[in-house]
Structure 1
Amino acid sequence: MASHIGKLPVTIPAGVEVKIEGQSFSVKGAKGSDSFEIPEGITGAVEGNEIILTPADDLRPTRAKHGLARSIIAGMVKGVSEGYEKRLQIVGTGYRAVAKGQGIEFFLGYSHTITMNPPEGITFELPNPNEVVVKGIDKQVVGQVAANIRKLRAPEPYKGKGIKYADERILRKAGKAGK
């Protein structure tokens, strides 16, 4: 018996090149290239415009890795063809971001500014001073960089000030009751 997720084939979009040599998997597309080592006990093959992963045996650890490997490969294929992005909003009076070379300089109410440079493969966009867009081909790295930016000034529950994800809803607290 194989993993339910692992059994699903990964469709290869037009313009994406996939190469599987033994346990080595590499993918190249319009946005860039990426590679991955398929875990032992799982074999991969390209059939037409689909990638099929099959476990070698019915051992439980292989089943778990089967679904994980398929998800990682599907993410890589999507990343090199479409890319990933996370949008962050900066909420608060005087809170803003300014482009500084490749990086971003944040003004977040501290006595100093915070400069953040993007890691390799990540780009920042500033549509306006209160919005930051993190883009890249690796889903995990894009999410981690966005989380690191949010951590600079996490949103507080009383006025909602801070850096939040664009689709995040901040639960508000009532605050003090006035006389």
Structure 2
Amino acid sequence: MSRIGKKPVSVPQGVTATVDGQTVTAKGPKGELKFVVNDEVLVKLEDGEISVQPRDESKDARSKWGMSRSQIVNILQGVKDGFEKKLEINGVGYRAALQGKDLQLALGFSHDVIYRAPEGVTISVPKPTEIVVAGIDKQVVGQVAAEIREYRGPEPYKGKGVKYAGEVIVRKEGKKK
């Protein structure tokens, strides 16, 4: 049994949620998001709370039950507050800058890397060694942060590269004489 799926999701103040068949729509101060729930899961909106139940006791329906509830929580939180991921850049000469809406990264290559942000995601650079990715869709924000990190992930010997803020890099010992 899904422990997370059993809890009903309360709709926060300032957010209007509607359930139309299998589609959950949330509108808030930051924007509007939709999520289409799988057919094996039943969704109901009652008294400002969204409840999620599996249609039957099959393994497939139960496995999608908790995930559907988590997705609904994410869209409600996204339209109310939004999400953000912070990235840190370590290394001599490694830096980031904004070029209009594009992110320009100097990561030790012979050329600068230009990253175009998709719709609905804003990238800011408070310091040359810090990048903040923000938006209302948690999945898209995480994907953009992962794509930026992928250009030059942190290496284990000196810790150089792009890493998530708070990420711990397991360091290796170098060669011994």
Same fold (TM over 0.5): yes
Counterpart amino acid of residue 177 in structure 1:
K
1:47 aligns with 46
Question: What stretches of structure 1 of length at least 5 have no aligned partner?
Answer: none
Partner SS state of residue 164, structure 1: strand
Runs of 4+ in structure 1 over 3 Å off:
none
Q: What are the within-5 Å matches in structure 2 for residues 114-153 of structure 1?
A: 114-153=113-152
Who is 2:12 aligned against?
13
Look up the equivalent residue of 1:151 and give its one-letter code: E
- 2:94 corresponds in structure 1 to 95
Deviation per CA, 1:133-153, whole angstroms, max 9, x where unpaired? 011111111111111101111
Counterpart CA distance in 2 for 1:95 and 1:51 is 46
Q: What is the DSSP-based 3-state SS (H/G/I as helix, E as strand, rest coil) of the residue aligned with 1:94?
A: coil
Aligned partner letter, 2:112: T
How far does residue 3 in structure 1 lie from its aligned partner after superposition? 2.7
For 2:144, the aligned partner's letter is V
Structure 2 portions without partners, runs of 5+: none
**TM-score normalised by the chain length of structure 2:** 0.95
1:48 Cα deviation (Å)? 2.0
SS across alignment from 1:70: helix
Counterpart residue number, 1:163: 162
Residue 158 (structure 1) shift: 1.2
Instruction: Give the Cα separation in 2 of the matches to 1:17 and 1:83.
Output: 15
Matched, 1:70 2:55: no
What SS is found at the alignment partner of 1:64? Answer: helix
Q: Which amino acid aligns with 1:64?
A: S
Looking at structure 2, the residues matched to 157 and 6 of structure 1 have their Cα atoms a distance apart, in angstroms, of 39
The letter for the 2-side match of 1:79 is G
Q: Which amino acid aligns with 1:41?
A: E
Q: TM-score, normalised by structure 1?
A: 0.94
Structure 2 matches for 1:54-65, cutoff 5 A?
54-65=53-64
User: CA shift at 1:35, angstroms?
Assistant: 0.6
Q: How many residues align?
A: 177
Inter-partner Cα distance in structure 2 for 1:68 and 1:158? 37
| C-alpha distance in 2 between matches for 1:97 and 1:91 | 11
Aligned-pair identity in percent equals: 48
Separation in 2, partners of 1:153, 1:177: 26
One-letter amino acid of the structure 2 residue matched with residue 156 of structure 1: E
